[in-house]
Each structure stands twice: as structure tokens, then as C-alpha cells.
Amino acid sequence: MKTVYSPLHAGHAGTMELMSGAIMPGFEKPSRAEIIKARVESEKLGPILAPEVHDLAAAKRVHKADYIDFLPTVYPEWEALGRSGSAIPYTWPTRGLRGDVVPATLDGKLGHYSFDAGAPFVKGTWEAIKSSYDVVMTGAKLVKNGERAAFALCRPPGHHAGAGFMGGYCYINNAAVAAQWFLDQGAKRIAILDVDYHHGNGTQEIFYARADVQVLNLHGDPMVEYPYFLGHADEDGEGAGEGFNINYPLPFGTTWEAWNAALEDACAKLAAYAPDVVVVSLGVDTFEKDPISQFKLKSGDYPKIGARIARLNLPTLFVMEGGYAVDEIGVNAVGVLTGFEG
């Protein structure tokens, strides 16, 4: 299968994050994508293509236009204030406060357009976000033009980004953009299968009231795990979308057997939906050695995930999301893809 990759991701480097009461170097770092790319090469998965440059129209089909227009302004405004380091919000319009008024200055805007402090900006962040979007658009086009599958090696990831908010290392929801783009190209139904350890709260929010995108999510139970506040089993969609959002919250310590049972159930529901394309939000932070996660999948499990997805026998776009055990991230992510190819 073909991989789409851009070196521009690497400008999103040296970010900081808040963790257990301390500011520390970000876990979502450039080496992640470089190690996956090296594994794509050493496993001879297929050619690695540069993305085509796209305008932002497809991003604005799933995100609010004012949110997308805000993203490239962040770091220049931050610098104009005489600041350096990582631009990070520190206050949010939570319950009872005004979420409808966009503040006029940067710290207020950062809070308005985010749900946490987990999506920092440095100098190269916007270019990296844009390259990740170009990567997923190029991958989507490959599948539309007849490839059985393609791998969008996106960085930064996307599944925590909602219509009008960033967070959790995510800015543009690459998987959601691709799903909507397939529909706009004439597809009738798209399924998004999110196997990242964390609930894809942004993806769920974007498609919650819609029947033309089925969203299936396997993740750490939000009663005990980030991003909390969304991802419970009773969230099954609303209005026309009722029944088209399917959550599998799983406990800390989940191993292959229980995780795979949830995958089997998800694949059965996905097959019954009969989508034109499957978009896989491919996180490998389910790995036993992931530094911020609590599932116990082993490297040998990832090819089995790919093989199961292949048995759906549908055009498939793999979109890279999380995974922070950098030493094994290439083995695990590319393991899914080689398992798919059989």
C-alpha cells in the first residue's frame, strides 16, 4: 500500500505539556512520524508519496470556518505579544460561562477554541497541521481513485479536534475531513473505526447527529481516562444520527482478548452498515508499554487488527493518530498495515 508523508510535520517540535502538575516536554514529538516512516521503508510496505497541497475548503466542511481561520494566526500573534516557547490556553468557557462570545485577544481566543491545554503551538505548528491535512487529503484521493488502501502518515493527529475546538495534540480532524470528502465526492456512507486508546471525542462531536457517517470507538473508559466527559456506552447518536455512534469503553488493563471481542462487535456493526469506505483512526497507544495509556496490547496483536480490518473487504484509508512508545511505534503501526496486506 502507498504511504503519504510530509517532512513539514517536524516543525511542530519542542512543545510542552501539562502532566501531573508539571510542565514537561510533549509526548507527541517528531520522532514518532520519523520512526513510522523508517519502518514503512524497512518493511517495504510500498512507495512513500509527498502530499499534494490543498486549499482549506475540505477542512471547513467539518470545522467551523472561524476556527480554521484562527489556527494560522496563533503563533504570529503569540510572537507579537513578545512571547516565545509554546502557546497554550489556560482558561475555558465551561458550564455556566459564555461560550458564544469570541474574545478579542489571544489568550481568550485560545481558550474559546480548545477543550484543554494539550494542543500547544510553536513556530512550525501551523505548517505541520496544514501538512497533516494535505497528507490525509492525498491519501483519500488515492483510495477514491481505486487503491484498495492507503496510509496517511498524519502528524499532528486529529481525532480529538471537534468542529470548533482543538485539544489532546489535535487541531484539524484528519479522519473526519477525509470522511466528509468521500461523501462530497459521491459516497453514500462512510464508517470511521477509531482504535486509538483515547476516545475520539472530536470525531464523535462532528458526526453525532448524522446517519451518513458511522463512528465506532474502542477506548479507555472515560469514567477513568482522558478525555473524560465523552465516550460512554450510552452515547449512541442523536436525531437522524441515532444508532450511528457506537462506543466501546474498556477498563484499565484491557488485553487482546477483551479488546478483540470489542473489535469483532464493531466489525459486525460496520459490515451491516455497508459503508463505501472505512476510515481507520489508527492509534497504537493501546500498546502495553505506552507511557500515557493503560491497555496491554502486544506488538504481535497489531497485525491481527490489520487482518481483521482487511476481512471487511472495503476500501480503507488508514489515518495515523496516537502512540507514544516511540521505540516500538513503527513496529506496531506498520504491523497493522502489513497484517492488512496479508
Beta carbon of residue 61, minimum distance to ligand Q9C (angstroms, whole number): 21
Question: Is residue 160 flagged as an active site residue?
Answer: yes
**Residue of minimal Cβ distance to ligand Q9C:** 322
256 binds, among Zn ion, ligand Q9C, none (CB under 5 to 8 A by kind): none
Distances in Å between the Cα of 284 and the Cα atoms of 162, 179, 207, 213 are: 21, 21, 23, 23
Catalytic one among 9, 159, 160, 219?
160
- The residues that touch Zn ion, with contacts defined as CB under 5 A, are 196-198, 283, 285, 322
Distance of CA 42 to the CA centre of its chain: 25
Q: Which is nearer to ligand Q9C, 10 or 314 (CB)?
A: 10
The closest alpha carbon to 100, from 173, 160, 161, 164, belongs to 164
Beta carbon of residue 291, minimum distance to ligand Q9C (angstroms, whole number): 10
Q: Using an 8 Å Cβ cutoff, are 199 and 222 in contact?
A: yes
Beta carbon of residue 27, minimum distance to Zn ion (angstroms, whole number): 10
Q: Which is nearer to ligand Q9C, 136 or 142 (CB)?
A: 136
Beta carbon of residue 40, minimum distance to ligand Q9C (angstroms, whole number): 20
226 binds, among ligand Q9C, Zn ion, none (CB under 5 to 8 A by kind): ligand Q9C
292 binds, among ligand Q9C, Zn ion, none (CB under 5 to 8 A by kind): ligand Q9C
**One-letter-per-residue 3-state SS of the chain:** CEEECCHHHHHCCCCEEEECCEEEECCCCCHHHHHHHHHHHHCCCCCEECCCCCCCCCHHHCCCHHHHHHHHHHHHHHHHCCCCCCECCCCCCCCCCCCCCCCCCHHHHHHHCECCCCCCECCCHHHHHHHHHHHHHHHHHHHHCCCCEEEECCCCCCCCCCCCCEECCECCCHHHHHHHHHHHCCCCCEEEEECCCCCCHHHHHHHCCCCCEEEEEEEECCCCCCCCCCCCCCCCCCHHHCCCEEEEEECCCCCHHHHHHHHHHHHHHHHHHCCCEEEEEECCCCECCCCCCCCCECHHHHHHHHHHHHCCCCCEEEEECCCCCHHHHHHHHHHHHHHHHC
Q: Which is nearer to Zn ion, 49 or 326 (CB)?
A: 326
Q: Which is nearer to ligand Q9C, 144 or 159 (CB)?
A: 159
Q: Which is nearer to ligand Q9C, 26 or 139 (CB)?
A: 26
State how far the Cα of 334 lies from the Cα of 45, in Å rounded to an integer. 8
169 binds, among Zn ion, ligand Q9C, none (CB under 5 to 8 A by kind): ligand Q9C
**Residue of minimal Cβ distance to Zn ion:** 322
Beta carbon of residue 146, minimum distance to Zn ion (angstroms, whole number): 31
Q: Which is nearer to ligand Q9C, 2 or 160 (CB)?
A: 160
315 binds, among Zn ion, ligand Q9C, none (CB under 5 to 8 A by kind): none
- The residues that touch ligand Q9C, with contacts defined as CB under 6 A, are 17-19, 118, 157, 159-160, 168-170, 196, 198, 226, 283, 285, 292, 321-322
Beta carbon of residue 171, minimum distance to Zn ion (angstroms, whole number): 15
Catalytic residues: 160
